[in-house]
Amino acid sequence: MEQNYKLTILDFWGENCLPCKKVAPIIDQLESEYYQTVEVKKINVELKENEDLLIKYKVRSIPTVIFLKEDKIVDTYVGPHPKSTYEQLIKKHLC
């Protein structure tokens, strides 16, 4: 049975990106806390196979965290932010 998520989070990151390493555990926590309603996709910007996504979502800096609802961008955050910021957005878009 396929899961119908209400919200998708795209986490654009890179191996040598220190701010990305700050965001990663936060996104991991949110993924486990909201696993029934939120899908998290981690996208390594250094992989050639992800170039189309970088263009599609106009990612210019990392970390970039994009929130999608019904395949439409509803919020984008660039740079590291506290867990509370991401959590507020999740709650806002799940209503």
Instruction: Tell me how far apart the alpha carbons of residues 86 and 26 are, in angstroms, rounded to a whole number.
Output: 9
Q: Please tell me which residue in 7, 10, 17, 40 is annotated as part of the active site.
A: 17
Q: Please tell me which residue in 7, 9, 10, 20 is annotated as part of the active site.
A: 20
- Asked if 9 contacts 65 with a C-beta cutoff of 8 angstroms, the reply is yes
DSSP letter, residue 48: G
> How many CB atoms sit inside 10 A of residue 24's CB?
16
To the query of whether residue 95 is one of the catalytic residues in this protein, the response is no
By annotation, the residues acting in catalysis are 17, 20
